[in-house]
Amino acid sequence: FKLHAHASPGSGNITDLASAKAKILLSQPQAPGNASSSGEKAAKEAQRLRTANDMQKGKDQRLPANGTQNETQSQEGASSFGFNVSKMSVSEFWEPYMWVVAALVAVFAVSFELCHRRLADVDLTATPDCGAEHHEHQMLHLFKGIVPLVRPFYFGDERHTAWAYLAAISVLGVIDLVLGLIIMVWSKEFWDTIEKKNISRFFPLILDLCLLAFSKIILSTYGQYIGMMLSIRWRRSMTQWLLTKWLKDKCFYALQLDGKGDVPDNPDQRIQEDARLFVEQTMSLGTGFVTAATHLLSRLPMLLLLSPSYAFGWFYCPGWLLYITLLYSGVGAIVAHFVGQKLISINFGLQKYEAGFRYDIVQIRDNAESIALYGSEPCEEQRLQGKFAWIERVWWMMMCYTKRLGFFVSFYYQTSSIFPYLVLAPNYFRGQITLGTMFMLFDVLWAVKSGFDWFLGSYSELTGYRATVDRLSNFTQAMEKRSGAKCEVKRLPAGTHKAAAVVSGLNVQLPAKVDQRQLWRDANLEVKPGEFVLLSAPEGTGKSCFFRAMAGIWPHASGEVYLPAKTLFLPQKSYIPQGTLKQAVAYPSCATEFTDEDVQAALEAVRLTTLEGRQLQDEANWAMLLSGGEQQRLAIARVLLRKPAALFLDEATSALGAEGALEVFQLLRQPKSLPEGSVVITVSHDVELLKPVHDAHYTYDAESASWKLE
């Protein structure tokens, strides 16, 4: 029963405490004449228990039947196997074998260490790259970066809700703590009652325990439930915060452009998994820390009050028990950090490889058709297995370091269990403390030490937490850096030019990390109202980058651009979200912005015959369902709905046949299709076909790296 954990040291079991107490009393020698009063008391207690024991034995002999029969039989049974358990002693029976057992264990450990890596079935000589991203290692920096991640929820718009939940959990925690203290007092009275055979007090005490247990059950269940409520609110707030940052100022695109080196990978994993892990781990570690701290604080005064004045019964040092506990736990924590700190980067690397592996699987799903047509399944399987092998390697690294940490933590806890006995035994044997005080001190010492040991006990979890905090911190910092770095292409305000669209002195480079090449140098372009302009250049010259720079999403560009407010850029392959047909056509606006009639009319105008008979509310993966040409027709339907004043088409009719492409331009030239004076700027390799349906044609001048009017 968990309640008993508060009542006894070490084992957390009331019966252990009683039996230990009885054993110590029985093993006491007769108190010498000059023994202290506590020694005499103990001797008397032992004598009383001995008598009770003898009486019980006599009773057993007189009454072999009834209740004691089974006990007698079981004792006989134990003897019949040649063992008399009650007479077994470590020195007589086990000591000779302990050396053998220890030697066998050592042989097992050495042989296991020598050969276990062969079972890995993967090449462990290759060292995994745990990422160039920054992650904290130093002990003092273990909690760095947590506050900026916690702040948006606890000090943002939802702060009242956040603190209300925290307050509720804290109140329940305090009540639980008080109940724990009451149970400590209860257990003392209970065992005194048992000892005095006070039957009249026994049942009221049992009733008290039932009431205490009832309160604890209710409080702990609701405490957990409110914790889960807080967890989902916090996660929602954090996800919202990360999504807003990521989508703001086209950050998601800018981060992808610099997709090399220390740029955070897999934003999907950071927003979904890392945010969830951060909330869960913060709550679990935070609860553990607060519990340890409150138990520590509640027991600390008792430790100082009960602590004997003489350290080890030898020299005067008030409060020495506290110092020695602090020293012991402090040394343990520092050693644990040095043994296990490598786990931080290993956890970091593992999360990185897991995310990469998942992304590769998603890529197969996204490119299912190509892979199926190529028949490249064996290649994909090999690639994925290769990726998984890296996960295995990092996992093996983690196993090795977890084993090292495990050795130390086991050693620490094994020695910890005898720590209270070792430090208090001298005082007890010198008669400076009574047995009762010693048992109470065990309890208090155990609680205080558990508080100090929170760091060491949670170290393994902390290394995973550190990796999560680093991944999220790097992600948020990278987003903040990107949103601060503005595109240097200046967008001129409305009314600056008589022309409908103007590009002046545009310079476009490739990212410095990738390539130093300058794609456009002082490029100019002027489009008069109502004009249709065709741009053509050999592939790879940078036409798409030119459009990106005009749209203000290419960060490595400078110059001036004048564009109407209502501008639409159509790439060769438009994104079609999964969902209703109406949403697919209305995109990038919301479906509710247009009437069904308007959407239907736009679909009819672009002659998407495949969709005839389909309801606008039908849901499907339209990108899979429609051919490349049909997808381009759907994109033109979007143009008819949005009616932009400037339309940029980057090979947006390339998948249509010659007839289809001409049909689209005829449609765009119709008076109702676009607002009056609208301009269309087309990038295409189909110069001969599209020249007649455009008013001007520009080609690429390789010498000046700019446009030249044909």
- Cα–Cα distance measured from residue 691 to residue 710, given in angstroms and rounded to the nearest whole number: 11
Residue 372 DSSP label: H
User: Closest Cα to residue 153, out of 273, 240, 239, 234?
Assistant: 234
Task: Give the binding range for ligand ATP (CB under 6 A) out of 3-11, 287-295, 535-543, 664-672.
Answer: 535-543
Opening angle at CA 565, ends 561 and 569, nearest 5: 75
Residue 364: CB minimum distance to ligand ATP, A:
23
Tell me whether residue 294 or residue 544 sits nearer to ligand ATP (CB atom): 544
Tell me whether residue 90 or residue 512 sits nearer to ligand ATP (CB atom): 512
Tell me whether residue 340 or residue 542 sits nearer to ligand ATP (CB atom): 542
Chain positions 243 to 262 lying near ligand ATP, rule: CB under 6 A, are 257
> What is the DSSP track for 267-318?
HHHIIIIIHHHHHHHHHHHHHHHHHHHHHHHHHHHHHHHHS-SEETTTEE-T
* Near ligand ATP by CB under 6 A: residue from 13, 544, 558, 699: 544
* Near ligand ATP by CB under 6 A: residue from 361, 514, 624, 709: 514
Tell me whether residue 261 or residue 375 sits nearer to ligand ATP (CB atom): 261
- Cα–Cα distance measured from residue 1 to residue 360, given in angstroms and rounded to the nearest whole number: 48
Tell me whether residue 540 or residue 692 sits nearer to ligand ATP (CB atom): 540
Task: Give the binding range for ligand ATP (CB under 6 A) out of 138-146, 339-347, 539-547, 576-584.
Answer: 539-547
For position 510 contacting ligand ATP by CB under 6 A, the verdict is yes
Structure tokens at 291: 């519990």
8 Å CB contact between 348 and 262: no
For the CA atoms of the chain, what is the radius of gyration? 38
Residue 158: CB minimum distance to ligand ATP, A:
37
Q: First-to-last CA distance in the chain?
A: 90
8 Å CB contact between 535 and 691: no
Tell me whether residue 78 or residue 545 sits nearer to ligand ATP (CB atom): 545
Tell me whether residue 168 or residue 545 sits nearer to ligand ATP (CB atom): 545
Residue with tokens 């010492």: 445
Binding to ligand ATP by CB under 6 A, coded x per residue (else -) over 205-244, reads: ----------------------------------------
- Residue 648: half-sphere exposure toward Cβ, Cα within 13 Å: 21
Chain positions 253 to 312 lying near ligand ATP, rule: CB under 6 A, are 257
Task: Give the binding range for ligand ATP (CB under 6 A) out of 125-133, 329-337, 526-534, 543-551.
Answer: 543-551
Helix (H, G, I), strand (E, B) or coil at 535: strand
Tell me which amino acid residue 360 is: D
Tell me whether residue 82 or residue 540 sits nearer to ligand ATP (CB atom): 540
* Near ligand ATP by CB under 6 A: residue from 9, 145, 340, 542: 542
For position 541 contacting ligand ATP by CB under 6 A, the verdict is yes
Chain positions 75 to 94 lying near ligand ATP, rule: CB under 6 A, are none
Residue 644: CB minimum distance to ligand ATP, A:
21
Residue 700: CB minimum distance to ligand ATP, A:
8
Task: Give the binding range for ligand ATP (CB under 6 A) out of 185-193, 453-461, 462-470, 508-516.
Answer: 508-516
Alpha-carbon torsion angle 537, 542, 545, 547, nearest 10 = -10
* Near ligand ATP by CB under 6 A: residue from 375, 540, 613, 671: 540
Tell me which amino acid residue 681 is: I
Task: Give the binding range for ligand ATP (CB under 6 A) out of 108-116, 202-210, 509-517, 622-630.
Answer: 509-517
Structure tokens at 56: 């019980």
Q: Residue 701: in which H helix or E strand, if any?
A: strand 696-701
Tell me whether residue 237 or residue 631 sits nearer to ligand ATP (CB atom): 631
Residue 294: CB minimum distance to ligand ATP, A:
54
Whether the link from the prior residue into 148 is cis, omega within 30° of 0, is: no
For position 571 contacting ligand ATP by CB under 6 A, the verdict is no
- Cα–Cα distance measured from residue 605 to residue 664, given in angstroms and rounded to the nearest whole number: 10
CB atoms within 10 A of CB 622: 23
Task: Give the binding range for ligand ATP (CB under 6 A) out of 107-115, 118-126, 403-411, 506-514.
Answer: 506-514
Tell me whether residue 425 or residue 545 sits nearer to ligand ATP (CB atom): 545
Helix (H, G, I), strand (E, B) or coil at 617: coil
- Cα–Cα distance measured from residue 584 to residue 613, given in angstroms and rounded to the nearest whole number: 16
Alpha-carbon torsion angle 26, 28, 29, 30, nearest 10 = -80
Task: Give the binding range for ligand ATP (CB under 6 A) out of 188-196, 270-278, 440-448, 511-519.
Answer: 511-519
Residue 543: CB minimum distance to ligand ATP, A:
4
Tell me whether residue 384 or residue 510 sits nearer to ligand ATP (CB atom): 510
8 Å CB contact between 627 and 649: no
Tell me whether residue 45 or residue 265 sits nearer to ligand ATP (CB atom): 265
- Residue 245: half-sphere exposure toward Cβ, Cα within 13 Å: 23
* Near ligand ATP by CB under 6 A: residue from 322, 440, 499, 545: 545
Number of residues that bind ligand ATP (CB under 6 A): 13
Residue 414: CB minimum distance to ligand ATP, A:
57
User: Closest Cα to residue 519, out of 549, 495, 489?
Assistant: 549
Residue 540: CB minimum distance to ligand ATP, A:
4
Look at strands 488-491 and 557-562 and give their pairing. Answer: parallel
- Cα–Cα distance measured from residue 86 to residue 78, given in angstroms and rounded to the nearest whole number: 9
Residue 513: CB minimum distance to ligand ATP, A:
9
Structure tokens at 434: 């009574």
- Sorted by sequence, the CB contacts under 8 Å of residue 308 that are 6+ apart come out as 321, 424, 427, 432, 433
Q: Which spans of this chain sit near ligand ATP (rule: CB under 6 A)?
A: 257, 510-511, 514, 519, 537, 539-545
